[in-house]
Amino acid sequence: MPAAKDPLPRSLEPLPDESLPGFLLRLAHRLDLTPSHVARRASLITAEVAQAKVPASHLLMMEDVVLRVFADATRIAPAEADRLTLRPYTDRYPPLAQALVRPGKVTRPRKVFPPWLLMTHSRYCPACLAGDGTPIQNRYGGPWKRQWRLGVVFACLDHQVFLHHECRRCRLPALGGRPGSPMTMLPASPAPRLHPAQCRNP
């Protein structure tokens, strides 16, 4: 069970359709901390071991206690924190609800995700990641969007382009971590001072 901690000294307002990893990357950049450090301060990482990772299931949803502790630590409203996950999409996209949320009274994310539904990497639109020209997005970049993780989403409607699925330099999937490794929410999360839009592949 995550314990409440002191709120982070500053925070950011989540961007429209921003994902949880995207928000953590921008916030870490703003605070000049590693994404791991921010995730620990926000109680998304509770294991004591240094190499512990943010559970990938938080891409789908944060359970109530986690959600409240995270929202307090990052100084945003619980509803805003919930909108960083894919859970709100379950209303509009029933396969997401059926395939990912375990049956029972309390909805909980599954640990294993079918690849046709949720990808182990993120597609991306370079124009979205470059930001919309506002000062805050010029400094910390635009959003890594939640919908880019869904197998059915392949285009950016804002910029009328097909999404990219791999880094143009290393030719590995974006935010995918080591090839063949299990789904990771935040690859290379202990790495300091990477821009949120920068490649995090090994």
Does 125 participate in binding Zn ion (rule CB under 5 A)? Answer: yes
Chain length of the chain: 202
> What one-character-per-residue DSSP string does 17-74 give?
TB-HHHHHHHHHHHHT--HHHHHHHTTS---SSTT----GGGGT---HHHHHHHHHHH
Nearer to Zn ion, 98 or 138 (CB): 138
Does 28 participate in binding Zn ion (rule CB under 5 A)? Answer: no
Q: Which positions from 79 to 118 touch Zn ion by CB under 5 A, shown as an x/- string?
A: ----------------------------------------
Q: Which positions from 169 to 198 touch Zn ion by CB under 5 A, shown as an x/- string?
A: xx----------------------------
Does 158 participate in binding Zn ion (rule CB under 5 A)? Answer: yes
82: its two tokens? 């919930």
> What one-character-per-residue DSSP string does 104-150 give?
SSS--B-SS--TTTB-SS--B-HHHHH--SSHHHHHH----BGGGGB
Nearer to Zn ion, 116 or 162 (CB): 162
Nearer to Zn ion, 5 or 159 (CB): 159
Residues 29/38/11/88 CA torsion (nearest 10 deg): 110
Does 13 participate in binding Zn ion (rule CB under 5 A)? Answer: no
Nearer to Zn ion, 13 or 158 (CB): 158
How deeply is 151 buried, as exposed, middle or buried, from its count of CB atoms within 10 A (0-12, 13-18, 19+)? middle
- Selected binder of Zn ion within 62, 128, 150, 183 (CB under 5 A): 128
DSSP 8-class letter at 89:
G
Does 129 participate in binding Zn ion (rule CB under 5 A)? Answer: no
CB 113, CB 124: distance < 8 Å? no
Q: How far is the CB of 174 from Zn ion (least distance, A)?
A: 8
CB 12, CB 27: distance < 8 Å? yes
Kindly indicate which of the ranges 5-13, 23-31, 101-109, 150-158 contains the residues binding Zn ion, using the contact rule CB under 5 A: 150-158
- Selected binder of Zn ion within 102, 111, 139, 159 (CB under 5 A): 159
Where does this chain bind Zn ion (CB under 5 A)? 125, 127-128, 156, 158-159, 167, 169-170, 199, 201
